[in-house]
Chain A
C-alpha cells in the first residue's frame, strides 16, 4: 500500500453482528483501487458433519441457516434419498416436500420484500434511516406491512403443516417423508389461498411499478452483464425442486443445458481468496476471470423458457417485454423477479393442496445403498448444492456445500465496486449516498450470509476513512 492510498471500511452488520464488511481502497487520486465485500465468519460444517450418520444430516444441516432451513433440509434429503438407493419418491412424499419448499419460497421472498427491502423502495434510498425499517413501514403503510407479515405467516404455516415446525423441520427422511398432511391443515391453508394470491399479484404490481418508474436510474445502478445459472425441467421450464442445470452467457447463449445434478463438480469450481471466508464460484470452462455467474430470482427467470403456472407466466412475459427481453442484467430487477416467483409459489401451493396425493399415506421407498450422492435445489436465493460420501458404517466421510449466496459473491463485489466508483469519484469525504447505495446494491441479492454466514437484511453501516498509516481521517455513522 503506497503512502497516499486511503482505506474506507464499511461494516454492514459486522461490527454489530459480525457477519460481513466492505473495504474500499482509494489510490492517490481518490480513485477506487479495490472494493471488497468480506465475509468474516466461518463455521466448518463440511468438516464436522463428517462422522455423523447420514440419516441425521437433513436435520442437522438446517442449522446452517434459520432463514432458509427448508432448502438445506431438502437439498440434503435429496442427496440422502440417493444414498438410500431411492431415485423416485412416492407421489405423496414428493408432493409433501414440494409443498414445504413452496411455503419456504413464499415466506422467504415475502420476508425479504416487505420486511427488509420495501423501506428502500417506499421511502427512497436516501430516506431517514429511523423510518427505513419494517416498523416505519407499519407506521406509514400499515396495510402493506400487515400484508407482508401475514404472507410470511402463511408461508411459515405451510412449512409447519408439512414439516412439523416453522423453523428446522423434521419431516424429510432418506427415501421419503415421515408424515403426511393433516386434512384439517389442508382445509385451513386452502381457505387462505385466494387472499394470498391477490396479495402476491399486488406485490408483483408494486415491484413492477417501482422498477419501471425508476428504470433509467436502476439500469445504471450496480448493473452489469453476467452469466446466469439455474435449474430448469427437460423442457426448459422454471423448476425449483428438482431440475437440470442450465447456464447462459451474458448474450443469452447456452453455456450448458440438461446437466444432471451429479455432474456439478465437473462444471463448477470455487476460487479461494484469502480476504474472505466465502469462496468465489465460477464455470470451469470459462475460468475464474470470466466464469462467474449470478443465481437467484433474476437468474432463474433468465435461464428458463417458461413458468409452468399461468399467472406467473403472464408476469414473466410482462417483465421481459418491459425490460427488453432476456437476459436481463439489471440488478434491481431482482425484486420484481422475486415477486413473480412468489406468485408462482402460491399458484403451486394451490395446486398441491388440491391434489389428493397430498394427504396420502404412502410415504417411504427403499432401495440399494450407495456411497455417494448430490442433491441440488433452487433455494429462495439461488441454486444450492449438497454433495456427500458415506462409508459402510453409514457415516458421512465427505461433504461439499455450495450455498446460494456464495454464487453471488463475485456479483455482489462487482456491485459494491461499481457503486463506490460512481459515488467516490474525486471526493475526499464519505457521504451518506455511499452508505445507502452500497447497502441497497448488496440487498438486491437478498444475501443470506448466514448460509455463507448471514445478515438479516438491514445493514447498519459505518464507514471509516483511513490513511495508509492507519490514522482516522473521517468517519460517518448512521444510527
Chain B
C-alpha cells in the first residue's frame, strides 16, 4: 500500500453503492452535530462534498448499499484499499437489503418488466438498455462482505442517527463501537 499515513485529524470517506441514500440521510440526521463532526474529522471523498479521489489513507470508510454492478465492485475495492476501518452502513451493505429482492428473479425478467412490458413503455424497436457507457449488471446483488473484508457492521434500514453518531465517536477515539440494544432494534 503506497498511501502514507497523514498527520492531523482522522479522515472519513463515505459512498453509496446499491443503496437508497437513506443511510446518508440518517448520517445527516445527527443535525447540529454535523458541525461538531466537522471539527473532529476531515471529510474525504463523499457525495456531500466535491472530493472525488483518494490521495492518501483514510481512517474510516462508510459504505452504504451492496454491489449490483461491476462499478460498485470497483468502488468498494478502492475503498477497502484506502480505508483502515471499513464500516458496512445499513442493511443493504450488510446483507443486500431491498435491492437484493431481485436475487430470486432472473435479471432478464427485471429488465423485460421495466423496458418492454409496462403500461407506459414506448419501445417500438424492443431494445433493452445496453451501451458501452452502462456498467455491467451483476447476476445478483452482493452484500459487501462477500466482496471484501468488513470491520464493522451497523445494521438497520437505516441505522438511526444516534447509532451512527455513537459508532463514529467510538471509531474516532480508536475504540470498537458497542451499541446498546435500543439503538439496534428494527421496525
Contacts and interface: CB of A to CB of B under 8 A. Distances in A.
A69 B119 contact: no
B182 to A, nearest CB: 14
B123 A166 contact: no
Interface residues of B, number: 68
B31 A66 contact: no
Given A17-B16, A66-B23, A111 B28 contact: yes
B68 interface: yes
Given A133-B50, A272-B127, A18 B135 contact: yes
B91 to A, nearest CB: 9
Interface in B66-95: 68-69, 71-72, 75
Interface centre among A62, A115, A170, A479 (most CB of B within 10 A): A479
Interface string A45-89: 011111000000001101111110100000000000000000000
Contact of B26 (A23, A48, A166, A398): A166
A59 B187 CA distance: 10
Contacts of B98: 60, 63
Given A44-B102, A456-B24, A66 B122 contact: no
A187 B22 CA distance: 28
A362 B157 CA distance: 30
A479 B51 contact: yes
A363 interface: no
Interface in B41-70: 43, 45, 47-53, 55, 68-69
Interface in A438-475: 450, 454-462
Given A456-B16, A458-B50, A150 B31 contact: yes
B20 interface: yes
A281 to B, nearest CB: 8
A135 interface: yes
B85 to A, nearest CB: 19
Interface of A: 13-19, 21, 23, 36, 38, 40-44, 46-50, 59-60, 62-67, 69, 111, 115, 129-130, 132-135, 138, 145-146, 149-150, 152-153, 156, 165-168, 170, 264-265, 268-277, 279, 281-282, 288, 387, 398, 400, 402, 450, 454-462, 477-479
Interface of B: 15-26, 28-29, 31-32, 34-35, 38, 43, 45, 47-53, 55, 68-69, 71-72, 75, 97-99, 101-102, 104-105, 107, 109-115, 118-123, 127-131, 133-135, 137, 157-158, 161, 187
